Structure 1
């Protein structure tokens, strides 16, 4: 088994009773109940710009789903700046890029973690054509296969305004979470990111507003709201 890497990403694992961990569980519940008619199984996490905490958010969301006895796979599709192999302390030798380029099979690309029910597909070696890879029919087929093997499929993507990968992957998902860091990203950037996602008819489940300082508290929290609350 792997050894968990950078613990600052996984507060839901190391401090499951903390207010932030509870907020992640509330996020999980909101996603599960975001649609009465459609089953939300494949969810993508992205941000407008780099450094807003999208990878932190999607990793912790994966943990709380696994803690709810769901069989979860987390895909690191940020093949330019991958992080999940560091976060979960796993090898990046075989991953998404090697799987899509037929250099390994699915069993070799899916890595177990020390967290029960949670599996990772790391990014794999950096390819010359990440956007073409995620846009491919093979990527679509992979997601459909993972639907049959896992209860929840979570995908970490590059920032929406940086490259086209997030837009391309969003068309293959049941929903999108847009992560915004309070006080860092400009309003115009958020609006542009949302427009790019809606342009390809992505279903934005909600926004994760990160690092809002609470009054009378030294901590920070994550807040999730659905489209119906805007």
Structure 2
């Protein structure tokens, strides 16, 4: 299943939070927005025997589009009536806040470091999508992997799983860092984003081996910017199962 993903604002779209990348907000009736709804359905069916409470979106290398996929997927689940939390766990290069036009002065790093004793509500941000909350990454810490493997992070995962219908985690790339691998072993499901034409077979196989090491439940692969049939567009999303 392939569909075009035009990475620009639609004419007449609001200038508030409907920014670069969020096609599910700017163009909700577009073929790509429909593909994100199809991706949502495929994910739900893949977890039909177990309730899906947490999901990680990751990639093998940088610039694969995982943050954009995570953001649009979070929007799509929230528009279905779910209470969704999107957490930016890419503490090395946080970017989720830019997808929604939010500030990133404080976020996950502050919460995990417990710098001021505030609870999670002090760091959650709302966006224009009803039911969707955002926990941005916050300031870049010196020890991202240690924070994500801490007992405080594990407790946070339990707390938000009880509070929200679905928690989606955006992470750093798998290759070169252990951050994503740490989380992949603890969440209910993993969506693997592959940048078509950029990620090599070796990249994908190395990333797959990393996920196998932690028994990650890989629900499927999103092929980002794969070739499509319409020449006037150059970005595509597709969904395929892990086989």
What TM-score bracket applies, with the shorter chain setting the length? over 0.9
**Which residues in structure 2 correspond to 1:86-165 (within 5 Å)?**
86-103=98-115, 104-165=118-179
- Runs of 4+ in structure 1 deviating by more than 4 angstroms, as ranges, are none
Match of 1:23 in 2: 35
Is residue 2:236 matched to residue 1:221?
Answer: yes
**2:48 is the alignment partner of 1:36:** yes
Deviates more, 1:173-182 or 1:215-224: 215-224
Residues in 2 aligned to 1:9 and 1:162: alpha-carbon distance in whole angstroms: 26
Residue in 1 that maps onto 2:64: 52
Q: Distance in 2 between matches of 1:182 and 1:91?
A: 31
Q: Please tell me whether the aligned partners of residues 23 and 221 of structure 1 are also in contact (alpha carbons under 8 angstroms).
A: no
C-alpha separation in 1, matches of 2:105 and 2:236: 35
Task: Report the aligned-residue RMSD.
Answer: 1.4
Higher mean C-alpha deviation, range 210-219 or range 30-39: 210-219
| 1:216 CA displacement | 4.0
**Unaligned regions of 5+ residues in structure 1, if any?**
none
Corresponding residue for 1:178? Answer: 192
1:4 aligns with 17
Mapping of 1:180-195 within 5 angstroms? 180-195=194-209
Residue 40 of structure 1, CA deviation: 1.3
In 2, the alpha carbon distance for the partners of 1:25 and 1:213 equals 20
State how far apart, in whole Å, the 1-side matches of 2:229 and 2:125 are. Answer: 41
The alpha carbon displacement at 1:36 in A equals 2.6
Question: Which of the two has greater helix per residue?
Answer: 1
Pick aligned residue for 1:74 from 54, 77, 86:
86
Query: Following TM superposition, by how much is the alpha carbon of 1:205 offset from its aligned partner in structure 2, in angstroms?
Result: 0.7
- The Cα offsets for residues 110-143 of structure 1, whole Å up to 9 and x where unpaired, read as 1111211111000011111100000111111111
Please say if residues 131 and 165 of structure 1, whose CA atoms lie closer than 8 Å, have aligned partners that are also in contact: yes
Structure 2 distance, partners of 1:218, 1:40, is 37
Q: Is the 8 A contact 1:34 1:226 kept in 2?
A: no
Report the secondary structure of 1:33's partner residue: helix
